[in-house]
Amino acid sequence: MEPLDRFRAAVRIETGWPEAAEPGDSRAEAPLTRFQEFLAESYPVFHKTAERRVLSPYSLIYRWPGVEPDAAKPVLILAHYDVVPVEREKWTADPFGAELRDGYVYGRGTLDMKGILTGIMEGAERLCAEGFKPRRDLWFAFGGDEERAGVFGAKRTAAWFAEEGISFSWILDEGTPIADGMIRGITSPLGLFSIEEKGYMSLDLTVLQKPGHASRPPRIQAAAVLGRALERIVKRPFPFRLTPTVEGFFRDLAPLAPQPMSAFMARARLLGPLFFAAVAGSPDIASMLRTTVAMTQLEGSAADNVMPSEVRAVLNLRLLHPWTIESAIAFIKKAINDEQVAVTVHGLATGPVPANPGHTGHGGPGWQEMVEALETAYPGTPALPFLMVATTDSRHYQELAGKSIFRFSPHKLNPEELARIHGHDERISVENFNRGIRFYEALFTRL
Ligand SMILES: [Zn+2]
C-alpha cells in the first residue's frame, strides 16, 4: 500500500460519534480502538522500533527511542484521531468514503487531522525503514477526544507523563497552517507557528422568575433583564492588547506587505489605539487583539404561551493573555452590573497559554528545527510567530514543556479550504498530504 492509500483507509474509520459519550460507551469507543489497531497494522516498521502504550481508547502513546537519550530532553508530537460529526446531506461526497477527486481526498478529518497524523506516521515509518534513529527520545501522544476538550484523552495522558516524571524540551501539536492568501496585498504564503494559545471559557447567564400564564406577564420580565445584560456586554468589550507574539507577527509581516500597510504594521505598538482602530474591523484580526465574547445560545420557555421560570444565555469567551478565568468573570459581572443575572462557568474552562518568551524572537527550543523542516517541505516560505485563537490538546501538556509549544499544521491552505474544517466537503490536496510527510520526516531527522 502507498501512503495515500493508508491515509484514505484512516479516513474511512468513522471516529466521530455524533452524541456525547462517556468512557465505556462502546459505540463511541469501538472505532477509536479500531483506529489504534489500524496504525499498528499499517506502520509495522515503526511499531517494531517504538514502544507502544494504550492507556484507553482515547489515549495512545509511543516512545521512539533515541541513541543518546541523555544528550537532549525529549520532544513530544501530539495529534488526535477523533473527528467532529457531519451533516451528511450537505456533503457532495461520502464524508467517510475518502473519495479522490481532482487531486483532493474528501472526507471528515482529512485536514483535522488524519492527514497530519498519518503524515507523522509515514515520516516515522520511512525513517525507521531506512535505519534512522533519532538522537533523543521522541514521544508521540495521540488523543481520541480532542474535539470534546480532551478530558479522557490528552488530560489523562499528560497526567501519565507527569506521574512517570517525563518532561519535554518542546511540543508540536496541530494548529495554524501555511496560510495562502490570508491577508489582502500579501502574496507570500506564511508559515504560521502558533507559539501562544488563547484560553477557553463558556459562561451561563441566568435570570429567574416565577413561572405562570403568558396572559398575565409580570411588569419586569426575565428575558428583558437578560437582554439588557447582553446589551451591556456589547457596549463594554474587553480592551485591545498587543501581546509580544502578535506584535512579533505584525513586525515580521511588515516587510512582506505593500506600503503604507507595511509601515503601519511595523509600528503597531507605537500607534497603539490608532492601530487598533484601523484593524479591528476585521473579526479575524480583532480576535488576535482582545478577549472575545461570542453569544452562542439562548434559552427561554418551551412554549409560546408559557412564562419561562428561567432564561439563559451562553457566552463563549476566548481569553487573551494575561486575562484569567477569574479576572474575565469579574470583568463580565462588572459590565452586567445587575444582581438579578447569575454568572456561572459552563463546562471545562482553561486559561490562555502564553508564549515561551524565547520563541517570540525566533529562538527558543525547537524554532530552528521547525524552520528547517518548513524550508525542506515548502522552500522559501517564511515562518512567523502567531497566536492560536482556537484551542488544542496541547493546553493539557503545557506544564510538561515550560510552555514551549508549537501549534502548526504543515499544509498550505487558502481561506476557502480552511472554511471546510468542521464544515462540509472537508478535503486535502494530495500535494499537501505529501508535503506534510516531508515536513515531519525532515523534522524528525533534526531531532
Ligand atoms: Zn483538530
* Cα–Cα distance, 171 to 164 (Å, whole number): 17
What is the 68 CA–ligand 1 centroid distance (Å)? 32
Amino acid identity, residue 143? Answer: G
Gyration radius of the chain's alpha carbons: 23
Dig out the grid coordinates for 158 from the structure.
499528560
What is the 245 CA–ligand 1 centroid distance (Å)? 22
What is the 89 CA–ligand 1 centroid distance (Å)? 23
Q: What is the DSSP letter of 405?
A: E
* Cα–Cα distance, 2 to 42 (Å, whole number): 10
Q: What are phi and psi of 294, to 5 degrees?
A: -105, 130
Q: Which residues contact 58 (CB under 8 A, 6 or more apart)?
A: 23, 29, 32, 143, 144, 145, 152, 153, 156
**Nearest residue to 29 via CA among 44, 41, 19, 39:** 19
The answer to whether the peptide bond before residue 244 is cis (omega within 30 degrees of 0) is no
* Cα–Cα distance, 260 to 373 (Å, whole number): 33
What is the 176 CA–ligand 1 centroid distance (Å)? 10
Long-range contacts, stretch 179-183, CB < 8 angstroms, 24+ apart:
179/413, 180/412, 180/413, 180/414, 181/414, 181/415, 182/415, 183/253, 183/257
**Nearest residue to 137 via CA among 173, 175, 167:** 167
* Cα–Cα distance, 269 to 250 (Å, whole number): 10
What is the 148 CA–ligand 1 centroid distance (Å)? 10
The pTM of the full predicted model, rounded to 2 decimals, is 0.94
What is the 287 CA–ligand 1 centroid distance (Å)? 19
**Nearest residue to 178 via CA among 37, 371, 33, 404:** 371
What is the 390 CA–ligand 1 centroid distance (Å)? 10
What is the 213 CA–ligand 1 centroid distance (Å)? 47
Model pLDDT for residues 209-235, shown as the tens digit of each residue? 998 889 999 999 999 999 999 999 999
What is the 146 CA–ligand 1 centroid distance (Å)? 7
Helix, strand, or coil here: 209? coil
Block residue for cell numbers 510527510: 437
Give residue 211's pLDDT.
84
**Nearest residue to 241 via CA among 209, 268, 259, 203:** 268
The answer to whether the peptide bond before residue 113 is cis (omega within 30 degrees of 0) is yes
**Domain boundaries, given as residue ranges, for the chain:** 3-197+353-445, 199-350
What is the 392 CA–ligand 1 centroid distance (Å)? 7
What is the 207 CA–ligand 1 centroid distance (Å)? 35
What is the CATH T-level fold of the domain 3-197+353-445, as seen in this structure? Aminopeptidase (3.40.630)
Q: 315 has which bridge partners?
A: 203, 295
What is the 391 CA–ligand 1 centroid distance (Å)? 9
What is the 136 CA–ligand 1 centroid distance (Å)? 27
Within 10 angstroms of residue 184's Cβ, the number of other Cβ atoms is 8
What is the 18 CA–ligand 1 centroid distance (Å)? 16
Model pLDDT for residues 349-363, shown as the tens digit of each residue? 999 999 999 898 889
What is the 105 CA–ligand 1 centroid distance (Å)? 17
What is the 111 CA–ligand 1 centroid distance (Å)? 8
What is the 240 CA–ligand 1 centroid distance (Å)? 28
What is the 147 CA–ligand 1 centroid distance (Å)? 7
What is the 293 CA–ligand 1 centroid distance (Å)? 22
End-to-end alpha-carbon separation of the chain, Å? 28
Which residues fall inside 5 Å of ion ligand 1, going by CB?
A: 112-113, 174
What is the 263 CA–ligand 1 centroid distance (Å)? 35
What is the 264 CA–ligand 1 centroid distance (Å)? 34
Rounded to 10 deg, the angle between the 26-42 and 3-12 helix axes is: 170
Locate all alpha helices (DSSP H) within 280-365, ordered by sequence.
Answer: 283-289, 325-336, 357-360
Q: What is the DSSP letter of 378?
A: S
What is the 144 CA–ligand 1 centroid distance (Å)? 10
- Architecture in CATH for domain 199-350: 2-Layer Sandwich (3.30)
Amino acid identity, residue 358? Answer: G
What is the 128 CA–ligand 1 centroid distance (Å)? 26
Cα 431 from chain centroid (whole Å) = 23
What is the 83 CA–ligand 1 centroid distance (Å)? 7
What is the 396 CA–ligand 1 centroid distance (Å)? 14
What is the 112 CA–ligand 1 centroid distance (Å)? 5
What is the 59 CA–ligand 1 centroid distance (Å)? 15
Angle at 175 between CA 173 and CA 177, to 5 degrees: 125
Residues of the chain with pLDDT under 70: none
Per-residue H/E/C for 9-61 = HHHHCCCCCCCCCCCCCHHHHHHHHHHHHHHHHHCHHHHHHCEEEEEECCEEE
What is the 322 CA–ligand 1 centroid distance (Å)? 25
